[in-house]
Amino acid sequence: MKRARGSALAPASFEALASVRRALRETPRPAAPPVSPRPREPQPDGALLFRRAVVGVIPLPPSDRADPGRPRPKPLARQRLADEQQVLVDALADPWDWDAAVATGEELYFVRPGVPVAAMRKLRRGGWVIRAELDLHGLTGDEARVALAGFLNRCMVEDRRCVRVIHGKGHGSKNRLPVLKNKVRHWLMQREDVLAFCQARTVDGGAGAVIVLLKSST
């Protein structure tokens, strides 16, 4: 037989190529060098960007108009406080009849029309529990008037219906007359929230104090 024309590799050559291929596969490839990350440039903050944006801007002159969006501090209501204080003073006026005001030996007693007799009888016998007390010792007439008005207002707010007002017996006043005692009587009669009052019992102060019954605030 005749051999085919052309060149052909011997079997040994194929085996050699296969060995080279296996060697190449088994040879470890060198690791690629690590790539260092590119440093990031710092970003300017909002304040810096704003300053850059307003470079060369001329500010407007200040305006006299009020800014409705900005809360304004509340002014001190000194005049309102003074007016309220004056209302307390004007609410209780001194009696015009000074001869009656300095009369002695008269028991404090008052009941507003429409108040049941039983309520007054209970008040005189000490049947009502005294819920608050005001001592006017050492106060002038004007000071006592303001103190009494404020005291009665607080008692009405707190619904303290039965209270005691200590006015003293007048032994330390001029001519030893109970001027403050009679002023207190006159002031109490001007208050619409005062239903009745009477001289305190001996154990509650006697002639030096008065027990007052107030309207219910509820």
Q: Please report whether residue 180 resides in a domain.
A: yes
pLDDT higher at 8 or 132: 132
Count structural domains, the chain. 1
Q: Is the pLDDT of residue 131 over 90?
A: yes
Of 25 and 184, the structure prediction assigns the larger pLDDT to 184
In a domain, 70, yes or no: no
Q: Is the pLDDT of residue 99 over 50?
A: no
Q: Which phi and psi (to 5°) does residue 15 adopt?
A: -65, -35
Residue 171 has pLDDT above 90, yes or no: no
Kindly state the tokens that stand for 30.
Answer: 């060198």
pLDDT for residue 8 is more than 60: no
Confidence of residue 49 (pLDDT cuts 50, 70, 90): confident
| Average pLDDT value for the chain | 76
User: Comparing 88 with 128, which gets the higher pLDDT?
Assistant: 128
Q: Compute the average pLDDT of residues 65-76.
A: 55
Res 138: pLDDT: 87
Residue 105: predicted pLDDT: 47
Residue 44 lies in a domain: no
Range 91-108 average pLDDT: 50
Q: How far apart are CA 131 and CA 217, in angstroms?
A: 14
44 or 217, which is more confident: 217
**CATH number of domain containing 156:** 3.30.1370.110
Nearest to 145 by CA among 89, 86, 95, 98: 89
Residue 14 is assigned to a structural domain of this protein: no
* Model confidence at 1: pLDDT above 60: no
Q: Domain for residue 82, yes or no?
A: no
The average pLDDT across 144-171 equals 92
Residues 6 or more apart in contact with residue 101 via CB below 8 angstroms: 94, 95, 179, 182, 183, 186
Lowest model confidence (mean pLDDT) among 8-12, 46-50, 140-144: 8-12
Report the alpha-carbon distance of residue 89 to residue 215 in Å, rounded: 21
**Does any domain span residue 100?**
no
Radius of gyration of the chain (CA): 51
Q: What residues make up the domain containing 205?
A: 107-214
Mean local confidence (pLDDT), 125-147:
93
Nearest Cα to 114, choosing from 213, 26, 11, 7? 213
pLDDT at residue number 151: 96
Report if residue 12 sits inside a domain. no
Query: For residue 138, is it within any domain?
Result: yes
Q: What is the pLDDT of residues 185-195, one digit of tens each?
A: 999 999 999 99
